């Protein structure tokens, strides 16, 4: 995904309070520390593309506020190597494991309830300067049809709104120390 200088730049961005949003296969990219910390866990595997029920655990978070309490989706339901809560993540959406078949159930250390979407306001960088950025991740989004679904899009847009509201990047705060400097920016 990134060459060595890109990985170093991404790590520096995270370390300085940068924000990050991860969707679906983001937990299967750059299997190294920065991606792991920015997403909260790593992809382990998934059962066949399936219909499953998601359970909203936090009806107030911007990424789940517009969702029904129980939401039926057709997607790849990811299993994760570790529990994102171990890194301080707060799970806002889980998979109801009784609603679909997964032959590998019980073979991961992802925790219970089964995490699908989460956020965190710490551990986004490995060498943090104290400025806390935000990260938000959802394991959903494999199906092209999802990106045309209003409920799914409210989930995505809510996650983006949450991350941008942190005010630590130039996306929302021109005085922030990380993010694009605009058209006059010349990379070093």
Our count of domains for the chain comes to 1
CA 142, 76, 122, 162 torsion: positive or negative? Answer: positive
**Is 180 contained in some domain?**
no
User: DSSP character for 151?
Assistant: H
* Residue listed under structure tokens 């299967």: 28
**Is 80 contained in some domain?**
yes
Alpha-carbon span 179 to 183, nearest angstrom: 12
Segments forming the whole domain that contains residue 50: 24-165
**Is 181 contained in some domain?**
no
Average pLDDT of the chain to the nearest whole number: 77
pLDDT at 31 over 80: no
**Is 186 contained in some domain?**
no
**DSSP letters for 9-30:** HHHHHHHTT--EEEEGGGGGSS
CATH number (domain holding residue 67): 3.40.50.880
Average the pLDDT over 179-187 and give the result.
Answer: 57
**Is 4 contained in some domain?**
no
**Is 43 contained in some domain?**
yes
Alpha-carbon span 117 to 21, nearest angstrom: 11
User: Token digits for 49?
Assistant: 């593309």
Listed range (81-85, 131-135, 159-163, 182-186) with the worst mean pLDDT: 182-186
**pLDDT (0 to 100) of residue 43:** 55
Q: 72-117: per-residue pLDDT in tens?
A: 999 888 787 777 788 788 999 998 988 877 777 666 666 678 888 9
**Is 105 contained in some domain?**
yes
């Amino acid at each position: 995904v990134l060459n060595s200088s890109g990985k170093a730049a991404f790590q520096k961005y995270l370390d300085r309070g940068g924000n990050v949003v991860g969707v679906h296969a983001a937990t299967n990219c750059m299997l190294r520390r920065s991606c792991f910390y920015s997403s909260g866990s790593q992809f382990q595997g998934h059962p066949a593309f399936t219909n499953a029920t998601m359970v909203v655990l936090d009806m107030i978070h911007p990424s789940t506020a517009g969702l029904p309490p129980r939401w039926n989706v057709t997607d790849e339901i990811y299993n994760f190597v570790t529990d994102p809560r171990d890194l301080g993540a707060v799970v806002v959406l889980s998979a109801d494991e009784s609603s679909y078949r997964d032959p590998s159930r019980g073979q991961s250390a992802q925790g219970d309830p089964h995490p699908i979407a989460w956020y965190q306001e710490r551990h986004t960088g490995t060498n943090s300067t104290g400025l806390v950025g935000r990260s938000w991740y959802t394991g959903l989004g494999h199906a092209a049809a999802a990106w045309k679904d209003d409920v799914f899009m409210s989930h995505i847009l809510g996650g983006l709104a949450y991350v941008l509201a942190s005010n630590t990047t130039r996306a929302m705060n021109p005085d922030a120390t990380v993010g694009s400097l605009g058209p006059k920016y010349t990379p070093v």
